[in-house]
Chain A
């Protein structure tokens, strides 16, 4: 932080900066609060005009309808299927993507070898392929081998899509561990593999957690590929599931808001967990060369 001499002018300026910052950031976060409040309001308050800005009553109706606890609602959204598929596809793909991405990131951070830059760039560029472009051939190929409408097929795609970013993050984290540590492990008789396994991997666990959360969220939020590969509830995840609330001319905004809140849970946990690691993970590795 910049230390300043504190005069009356400075103090007034600081107060103004603080106030502007608070106002701007509250405005930035306001839309999200509106969604959360909407999920817990009675429908009549949402669709009325003039609008009711401050809720008079909170209710769990939307969730009762969603999970079939309300006998008056006949048709309902297959939220259990979405939840199961989202958890399976995101969970399985995260475990595999983080394992493979960590190995690759370690190789890039620690070792000198031919085609170092080429391989790194190749892996990174695979991430630049837009999901829409990838989804078309995957649909044709998966159709032949029976992987469309299949959670495992979806997980397979997410592994490949998540490896590049994981490798990049882990490359950054491993670079922060001094090379001397590895070299002294070699002198003590460790092989490459046991040096990695016993010394560097444990040191990079915070980074690993960050990478895992990123991978999980990327899969959890993915829409383009799943919307092409999953045509029915056997593999549909939350994002395409949101469209179940839209009909030709009407949209059940409260239902959507209620499901949105469920979808946000992993992300909220993520923000609480990695607030600190996030910054160092994204920047330090990339800047230190």
Chain B
């Protein structure tokens, strides 16, 4: 289709036609998009450009005169960050956090979707149970797990003491110790991510053609073989939808980190988002914070773009 032939999303889009036929309508579609585009430019685009400008200045909120741009010092903030150990640690923490969370959430959701597709008793009740974590705002997820993992009054330690696995004096400092702090945060965000991912993968699984499975069964394929060679490849588009939605929402994890550990103790769970807040809001160094914001924006956009490309590819092959 002509409209998609110069698609930046992958070569597949240029060679194969898209199923939906679209209507030619001159200027009309632009006028439909215009209000949305103006608003986004005004509230997202312009502020981002402004923060790019601020990132080139040594601006601190309490020193209004520091908001001035000089070519000589333009890259000073970025230099500072590249030489800042805490920046690198927070970047590393963020990457570890994202990699583990995304992969483990995906594996668990895939397993859960296969499990749910076999259920014959009480399907609708189970699906409602599955959606329970969706009722929680990310900040509530963080609050809830902070409480559960609290060393003194937390549910987890209390439970471990009750069943005799640990002593009353030997309470585990879940949110404090390395690497437990990171692990508890990851558990919380996995809990939050499971429902949407599972629902999408389950919908995909139920939409697969049954003949393929019957044929495989006749050929004597085992349950694992059926999953590995039929279900999993056919679910690719659904997998990428799930991963794209997750990548769009991944920054919600900030709320969880903020309320559970706030990057502490001693920056053990510091991530890009919490470090930005610390630099800009707490230390009022808006120039430095903006520089770091831009690095974060750059990384997020790359991440999202990657999943969009995969999504489009998977869609075309189908």
Q: Which of A26, A108, A163 contacts B40 (CB 8 A)?
A: A163
Indicate if A204 sits at the interface (CB-CB under 8 A). Answer: no
Measured CB to CB, the closest approach of chain B to A61, in angstroms, equals 18
Q: Given A131-B254, A253-B147, A289-B20, does the pair A32, B135 have CB atoms closer than 8 Å?
A: yes
Indicate if B126 sits at the interface (CB-CB under 8 A). Answer: yes
A128 and B148 alpha carbons, distance in the complex (Å): 31
Measured CB to CB, the closest approach of chain B to A259, in angstroms, equals 9
Docked-complex contact B138 and A223, CB < 8 angstroms: yes
Measured CB to CB, the closest approach of chain B to A17, in angstroms, equals 4
Indicate if B35 sits at the interface (CB-CB under 8 A). Answer: yes
Docked-complex contact A267 and B116, CB < 8 angstroms: no
Indicate if A179 sits at the interface (CB-CB under 8 A). Answer: yes
Interface set, chain A 238-289, CB cutoff 8 A to B: 238-239, 242-243, 251, 253, 256, 260, 263-264, 267-268, 270-271, 275, 278-280, 282-283, 286-289
Which stretch in B83-91, B97-105, B178-186, B303-311 binds the other chain? Answer: B303-311
Docked-complex contact B40 and A192, CB < 8 angstroms: no
Docked-complex contact B255 and A224, CB < 8 angstroms: yes
Docked-complex contact A260 and B140, CB < 8 angstroms: yes
Q: Hey, what's the 0/1 contact readout for B236-273 against A, CB within 8 Å counting as 1?
A: 01100100010110010011001100000000000001
Docked-complex contact A22 and B48, CB < 8 angstroms: no
Q: Given A17-B119, A32-B132, A51-B158, does the pair A141, B213 have CB atoms closer than 8 Å?
A: no
Measured CB to CB, the closest approach of chain B to A104, in angstroms, equals 4
Measured CB to CB, the closest approach of chain B to A187, in angstroms, equals 12
Docked-complex contact A24 and B43, CB < 8 angstroms: no
Q: Given A130-B254, A271-B131, does the pair A112, B23 have CB atoms closer than 8 Å?
A: yes
Docked-complex contact B120 and A14, CB < 8 angstroms: yes
Which stretch in A67-75, A77-85, A154-162 binds the other chain? Answer: A154-162
Interface SS of A by simple majority: helix
Docked-complex contact B296 and A26, CB < 8 angstroms: no
Chain B: number of interface residues, binned into ranges: 35 or more
Interface set, chain B 269-318, CB cutoff 8 A to A: 273, 276-277, 280-281, 286, 289-290, 293-294, 296-297, 300-301, 303-305, 308, 311, 315-316, 318
Q: Hey, what's the 0/1 contact readout for B4-19 against A, CB within 8 Å counting as 1?
A: 1011110001000011
A138 and B158 alpha carbons, distance in the complex (Å): 44
Q: Hey, what's the 0/1 contact readout for A1-42 against B, CB within 8 Å counting as 1?
A: 111000000000010011011101110110110110000000
Question: Who on chain B is nearest to A34 by CB?
Answer: B155
Q: Which residues of B contact A173 (CB under 8 A)?
A: none
Measured CB to CB, the closest approach of chain B to A6, in angstroms, equals 11
Q: Which of A107, A128, A133, A288 contacts B293 (CB 8 A)?
A: A133
Q: Which residues of A contact B136 (CB under 8 A)?
A: 32, 260, 264, 267
Sample (7) of A-B pairs whose CB atoms are under 8 Å apart: A22-B122, A107-B33, A111-B24, A128-B301, A131-B251, A134-B44, A282-B200
Write the residues of chain A forming the contact surface with B, with a CB cutoff of 8 angstroms: 1-3, 14, 17-18, 20-22, 24-26, 28-29, 31-32, 34-35, 46-47, 49-51, 100-101, 103-104, 106-114, 116-119, 121-134, 136-138, 140-141, 156-157, 159-161, 163-165, 167, 175, 179, 182-183, 192-193, 220-221, 223-224, 228, 238-239, 242-243, 251, 253, 256, 260, 263-264, 267-268, 270-271, 275, 278-280, 282-283, 286-289
Write the residues of chain B forming the contact surface with A, with a CB cutoff of 8 angstroms: 1-4, 6-9, 13, 18-25, 28-30, 32-33, 35-37, 39-40, 42-48, 50-51, 54, 112, 115-116, 118-122, 126-140, 143-145, 147-148, 153, 155, 158, 161-162, 191, 194, 196, 199-200, 202-204, 206, 210, 213-214, 237-238, 241, 245, 247-248, 251, 254-255, 258-259, 273, 276-277, 280-281, 286, 289-290, 293-294, 296-297, 300-301, 303-305, 308, 311, 315-316, 318
